[in-house]
Amino acid sequence: MFDLSGKSALVTGASGGIGGAIARALHTAGAQVALSGTRVEPLEALAGELGERAFVVPCSLADAEATAALPGQAEEAMGGLDILVNNAGLTRDQLAMRMKDEDWQQVLDINLTASFRLSRAVLRGMMKRRWGRIIGITSIVGVTGNPGQTNYAASKAGMIGYSKSLAGEVAARGITVNCIAPGFIETAMTDVLPEAQREKLLTSIPAQRLGRPEDIGTACVYLASEEAAYVTGQTLHVNGGMAMI
Amino acid sequence: MTMSDVAERVKKIVVEHLGVEEAKVTEDASFIDDLGADSLDTVELVMAFEEEFGCEIPDDAAEKIVTVKDAIAFIQENA
Q: In which band, very low, low, confident or very high, does the pLDDT at B1 lie, cut at 50, 70 and 90? A: low
Cβ of residue A172 closer than 8 Å to a chain B Cβ: yes
Q: In which band, very low, low, confident or very high, does the pLDDT at B7 lie, cut at 50, 70 and 90? A: very high
On chain A, the residues whose CB falls within 8 A of the CB of B40 are 169-170, 172-173
The ipTM estimated for the assembled molecules is 0.81
Average pLDDT, chain A: 96
- Residue A191, pLDDT score: 80
pLDDT in tens, B14-72: 999 999 999 999 999 999 999 999 999 999 999 999 999 999 999 999 999 999 999 99
B 25-64 residues with CB below 8 A of A? Answer: 40, 44, 47
Identity of the residue numbered A116:
F
- Across the interface, do B40 and A172 touch by the CB < 8 Å criterion? yes
Q: Where are the alpha helices (DSSP H) in A110-229?
A: 115-129, 141-144, 150-170, 188-191, 195-203, 213-224
- Residue A133, pLDDT score: 98
Please list the ranges in chain A whose pLDDT falls under 70: none
On chain A, the residues whose CB falls within 8 A of the CB of B44 are 127
Cα separation values, B69 from A4, A101, B4, B14, B35, Å: 43, 50, 12, 12, 13
Distance CA A8, CA A26 (A): 9
Q: What is the pTM of this model?
A: 0.93
Asked whether A134 and A86 are in contact (CB, 8 A), the reply is yes
